[in-house]
Structure 1
């Protein structure tokens, strides 16, 4: 995998959302330690894959809505954890996009919002939490829509972007990726990303 692409993918994810967040996609807060100041960046991680590494096979798209798709996986989202949210965070939104998909704006795999400011984890693994939005697999497919790239062996990159917001909720259920990016724009305090890859055949 070309890891040099990762910073560009992260920057593209935010640019596509038209959000005024740091180009490094971190929100840092100072903290005293032994008389010095250190940075504590807003950080997103997963116990299921490393940043820039392969997504597990069980994340592959499948189930309801996949009848006409070439993928027939378990369609389970990975667990996500985060720490060091910006001060004033009242809620979060998570957007997952595949910028390698041959579609303007990429392919949207997960739209999740109304995540409480007290949260620090998304369980994944089939657990339904928070408000699930519509993904690019089309109605009525909402929630996690796993990777399903063409069977060319070319890896696709899946950019998980977690936005810290100054609002706890958004106005509607079932919102699309574009609707969420528009709705959160006035409330973004910071953002953090993690990138997974997937290819077929595996």
Structure 2
């Protein structure tokens, strides 16, 4: 049986807090990511970073997208820390996040501790140029082409929210 696709970061473990450098309160740079074991037949990889807890984890209303990458070459084993579009593996396309940018936008939740899903998809195709593709555009283009998926979950709560008194309107 083949090993599953695995996604990790040397800067935080699955389920841990995302270091401030990778958030809107810090340097707002993308964390380094590493992966291994893409399934046989993988022609490209895609990465979506999303927050399903927006705006308030007690009453989530939408999924907020922080990064969209696709057509990552299958031989790539990750993306470096702070990777700008020109430092990504050759051929990688950068889509549009919900900040309206073709870049990584780090966590900066308005209230509470949010979960951030770094989702890597192994695809059986190289996608056409989707232009300024949103998360929804990429998910639609990937339909029927996903061979495997791996998640890395990081947590973040803004510093001024940490330790706040718990009561009506306080973060959980």
**TM bucket normalised to smaller:** 0.7 to 0.9
TM-score, scaled to structure 1: 0.70
Name stretches of at least 5 consecutive residues in structure 1 with no aligned partner. 1-29, 31-38, 62-71
1 CA distance for matches of 2:72 and 2:95? 12
Q: Report the alpha carbon displacement of residue 73 of structure 1 after superposing the two structures with TM.
A: 2.9
Q: 1:88 to 1:50 in 2, by over 3 A?
A: same
- Counterparts of 1:17-166 in structure 2, within 5 Å, are 30=1, 40-61=3-24, 72-102=25-55, 104-128=61-85, 129=88, 130-138=92-100, 141-150=101-110, 152=111, 154-166=112-124
2 CA distance for matches of 1:127 and 1:74? 13
1 CA distance for matches of 2:131 and 2:145? 18
Aligned match of 1:176: 134
CA contact (8 A) 1:108 1:135 kept: yes
Q: How many residues align?
A: 151
Name stretches of at least 5 consecutive residues in structure 2 with no aligned partner. 163-172
What is the SS of the residue equivalent to 2:53? coil
2 CA distance for matches of 1:156 and 1:170? 33
CA contact (8 A) 1:115 1:169 kept: no
1 CA distance for matches of 2:132 and 2:21? 25
1 CA distance for matches of 2:45 and 2:128? 10
Q: Deviations over 1:13-41 (max 9, x none)?
A: xxxxxxxxxxxxxxxxx1xxxxxxxx512
2 CA distance for matches of 1:58 and 1:168? 32
TM-score, scaled to structure 2: 0.82
- Which structure shows the higher helix fraction? 1
2 CA distance for matches of 1:105 and 1:87? 34
Q: What is the Cα-based RMSD across aligned positions, in Å?
A: 1.6
CA contact (8 A) 1:113 1:170 kept: no
Q: Report the alpha carbon displacement of residue 185 of structure 1 after superposing the two structures with TM.
A: 1.0
Q: Deviations over 1:139-160 (max 9, x none)?
A: xx1110100101x4x2110001
Q: Deviations over 1:96-121 (max 9, x none)?
A: 11011036441100101110111111
